[in-house]
């Protein structure tokens, strides 16, 4: 998670929770910050399964984030780690 969030300046973690995803424990992080001076929001899910780590993220402009986040949520509903 740190590598993905490293590119976001002025990072403010909004929430950081343990959740169940794909029958495994995962970490779900929501954050705000800036990239190249532009306000961005982050929705990040970190999942470990079968010796692999999956960092699944949606990072978008804060102004359009809530509207576009539904696409990310739909993707997560269909995602199954091998």
Annotate the chain with three-state secondary structure.
CHHHHCCCEEEEEEEEEEEEECCEEEEEEEEEEEECCEEEEEEEEEEEECCEEEEEEEEEECCCHHHHHHHHHHHHHHCCCC
pTM over 0.95: no
Q: Give the per-residue pLDDT at 81.
A: 86
* pLDDT of the residue at 68: 93
What CA–CA distance (Å, rounded) separates 76 from 45? 9
Give the pLDDT score at 1. Answer: 63
Q: What is the mean pLDDT of each run of 10 residues along the chain (82 residues)?
A: 82 96 94 96 94 94 94 94 84
pLDDT value of position 30: 96
Q: What is the pLDDT of residue 7?
A: 85
């Amino acid at each position: 998670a740190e590598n993905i969030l490293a590119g976001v300046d002025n990072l403010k973690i909004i929430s950081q929770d343990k959740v169940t995803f794909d029958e495994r424990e995962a970490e779900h992080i929501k954050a705000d910050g800036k990239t190249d001076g532009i306000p961005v929001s982050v929705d990040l899910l970190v999942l470990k399964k079968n010796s692999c780590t999956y960092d699944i993220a949606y990072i978008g402009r804060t102004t359009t984030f809530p509207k576009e986040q539904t696409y990310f949520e739909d993707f997560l509903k269909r995602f199954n780690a091998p």
